[in-house]
Structures are given as C-alpha cells and as structure tokens.
Amino acid sequence: MAKSKSNFVLPAGNRNTDGSYNNLSNNANLWSSFQYDASNAWRRNLNYTHTDVNRNNNNKANGFSVRCVREWISTQGNNSS
C-alpha cells in the first residue's frame, strides 16, 4: 500500500485467495481490526472513482492492505511523580 504526500491511502488493489491480483490503481482495501467470524474479517473499501466508503466481510485468505495507526497519548497535565 502506498501513501501519498497528504497521508491518504493510494489505491493498491488486493490479492485474491487464488493468488491473483485485481483492482490495482482503482481500490484501496484495508483490513479492519475486527473479526466477523472465524474465517472472515471486516474490511473497508475506498474506490478511486467514488466518494463513499464500503464495509464488507471477506475471507481472511485475501490479501488486503493494513493501515497502521500509532496511538498518541498526551502526557500534559499527567504527573505521576
């Protein structure tokens, strides 16, 4: 998954369960951290030509991108001494 200068996700497509690739340069498919069931997990889909964001569950054997988000904890005003 590529990242643009504005920190938005660029459409990297996905790898299917059979190892083939599709939607390159058209879709960004991102795994959610939430499981749907034992075999499937939620994913978000961003399409290059649409303004909406879709949520679907897909087989975990698919290869979707992962967006890592670092948790930022403010320490201002928290004195633990």
Name, in order, each residue with C-beta under 8 angstroms of 47's C-beta and a sequence gap of 6 or more. Answer: 11, 26, 27, 54
Between 3-17, 25-39, 45-59, the lowest mean confidence (pLDDT) is in 3-17
Structure confidence by residue, pLDDT tens digits, 7-25: 566 788 889 999 999 988 8
Domain positions in the chain are 1-68
Burial class (CB in 10 A: 0-12, 13-18, 19+), 43: buried
pLDDT at 35 over 90: yes
